[in-house]
Amino acid sequence: MASSPDVPSADNTPENPGSGSLSETPETTGATGGVQRRGRVRGRRAAVMAVPATLAAAGLAVFTAQGVLGVQFAISGMPFVVKADRLDGTGFEQFGTLDNMIDNSPNAGDTGGQELVVTSVVKNGTLTNMCQSVDLGGIQLLLKAGGSGRPVSVSNLSIDSDDIKGDAAFKNIEIGRDASTFDKAGVQGPRGVYGQQADSVVIENLYQHNYAATAAVFKLPNLHMSFSTDGCP
């Protein structure tokens, strides 16, 4: 789980929301006669500059914007679930971005090899009773840690998610702040984009559907990895 990227390249820069959408941009035919779903990809990029969605869960409202911290590697496109009884974090920032798969990834489907995600950054934090599960095709790989009074500890944590749920409380939250002026977690986004940050965050009954994660430090007391027919309870 962790990362700190550079400003996105020109190829990954979202279009102006008014310049293209899934309904406005027609499919085009390439030299080989194959259909190129440019409208879908451009629509995803445009959504990053707008507010992709409100991820609701018992008082948790997530607001997003184009960001620069994202994952610096090609994602597999296979999502994983993280659950925890409680997340305690200091130095919190949040914005949206696009994760990219390798060319011709078998997991790309009709996404164009891109996933629109919410990047959540925590400078320092702990996770109590954490469970992570990955569906490997009929069998689940489970990772459990942070129980028995010894929580998982992280620093410079960055997680890319497309679904977040929980009961959340923020201290000194700033919603709608220009992402380039962030100062809570040591990361600044591009100028003129929408984001939120807070001095601290507490999320109980945390659920995340993730595509990538990175961290500078990730300590897992009581680590247990196993295979199961079921995911995280």
102-116 tens-digit pLDDT: 999 999 999 999 998
Average of pLDDT values for 178-188? 83
Please count the other Cβ atoms lying within 10 Å of the Cβ belonging to residue 59: 10
Average of pLDDT values for 136-142? 94
Q: What is the mean pLDDT of the chain?
A: 78
**Going by C-beta distance under 8 Å and a sequence separation of 6 or more, which residues neighbour residue 72?**
3, 4, 5, 214
**Going by C-beta distance under 8 Å and a sequence separation of 6 or more, which residues neighbour residue 123?**
89, 90, 91, 92, 155, 156, 184, 185, 186
pLDDT tens track for 140-169? 999 999 999 999 999 999 999 999 999 999
Instruction: Give the global pTM.
Output: 0.71
- The pLDDT value recorded for residue 189 is 66
- Does residue 205 surpass a pLDDT of 80? yes
- The pLDDT value recorded for residue 44 is 58
- The pLDDT value recorded for residue 211 is 97
